[in-house]
Structure 1
Amino acid sequence: MKKLFSFIVCTMVAILSLSIATAASAETDNSRFSTKLTNSVESEFKAFGLNPPNSNSVVNLTKNKLTFAGQATGNTLYSNSYFQGKSSISYSITNNIGTKLTVKVWNDSDWIFATETLTVNANGTATGTIKNLDANALYYLSFSAPSDFSGYVQ
């Protein structure tokens, strides 16, 4: 009976140790993205984060250009600012790594379907125009991982 009790205790300690190691590994993985600040034409703001933006940060594209840059190994990055003000926007996005980059334009009122999906070739730049946006709606961007990118919408 004593051996059985010792075996159960040792097993529980081993399981607990593995759980702690897994949690530490997950935390380490989430910290493997770098953050950069970029400048817009008129002001400085944080260009991206791990969550969609909050309503406190909105760039009016009739007055400012939304610039962004970021790097991530395993996390989708989001613009930290919404943008609004135009029904047609132009974009330029440079992908600095050897895999394609998927960029999605999201309307804040639709969390299921992206308004537009853009693909930037490996080590390439994509430019273009997105039309038929609601000038009064709030939009934001998401960038698939792995990523190393920069660009703007205006």
Structure 2
Amino acid sequence: MLILSVFIIFIFSFIYISKSNAHCWIIRNYGWAVYNDWKSYWPMDFGTYLRMKQEEERRRMEEEERKRREEEERKRREEEERKRREEEERKRKEEEEKRRKELEEEQERRRREQEEKEEDLPDPGKKGGSKFKSLLWDGD
């Protein structure tokens, strides 16, 4: 409280000395210099200050919105890329499964053909040929 009262007395005395016909022109000129300097550091009225703060807030909100949109766009692209890779993987697996089945069918077909050929070959111990021929042939 004491400091506040001393400060107030100092301010009023400073103003009185600077505006009065004080014989010390240095104090008078220095007082006006401080006052003018203070005015130069107070560049705007309250309305201008509010508009400036609102403009800063608007810019900050636009920046946050832009960052949010960029993040959403990045996530959307990542999701599309993930789906595309999953689809390619699924198609690749389907193709592999299809090729594997075709290969198994081809091997099964070749195995059957081989078995049929082996059945048609004559037995070395028998006089005749295949079972089919032996059934039809009743000769010596």
Q: TM-score, normalised by structure 2?
A: 0.29
For CA contacts below 8 A with separation 6 or more, give which structure has more relative contact order.
Answer: 1
Q: Which structure has the highest strand share of the two?
A: 1
Q: TM-score, normalised by structure 1?
A: 0.26
